[in-house]
Amino acid sequence: MTAVEFDTDGFIGTLDTTRQARRLTWRKVADQAGVSASTLTRLSQGKRPDVDSLGALAHWAGVRTDTFYRADGVPLPTEPLAQAMGYLRADPNLGEEGASALEAIIRVTYEQLRKK
């Protein structure tokens, strides 16, 4: 089995690009993202973020975390159906019942139409 690793350098690079585009200091990034400044320091030293910090920083930067996972240096493929379901579940306009109903419809349709 291939080891999956988080691309910390790529993630911090993306954060830095976003930070520079918004003309912010790292302290402001920490404040806006709701993480400690020490979290950003640890990231810049190549250490992996904890799951809550990863989510907060990815949300702040508007990026998906799955793009930073690698196996043997290669980005991992993502399942389109899983991505769609994630978006539906995150929609504040849908309740649990609505999201589940749409998920069931889309799952059946996707399985019937996808190339085998």
Q: pLDDT tens digits for the chain (116 residues)?
A: 578 888 899 899 999 999 999 999 999 999 999 999 999 999 999 898 999 999 999 999 998 888 888 887 777 777 777 778 877 888 888 888 998 899 899 989 988 898 76
Is the pTM value of this prediction over 0.75?
A: no
Domain count, the chain: 2
Are 86 and 103 contained in the same domain? Answer: yes
Are 98 and 41 contained in the same domain? Answer: no
pLDDT at 1: 58
- 55's enclosing H/E stretch is helix 51-61
- CA 40, CA 87: separation in Å to the nearest integer? 27
Q: For the range 45-54, what are the long-range contacts, defined as Cβ-Cβ under 8 Å and sequence gap of 24 or more?
A: 46/8, 46/9, 47/8, 48/6, 48/8, 49/8, 49/11, 54/11
Which range marks the domain in which residue 56 is found? 4-75
- CA 112, CA 116: separation in Å to the nearest integer? 9
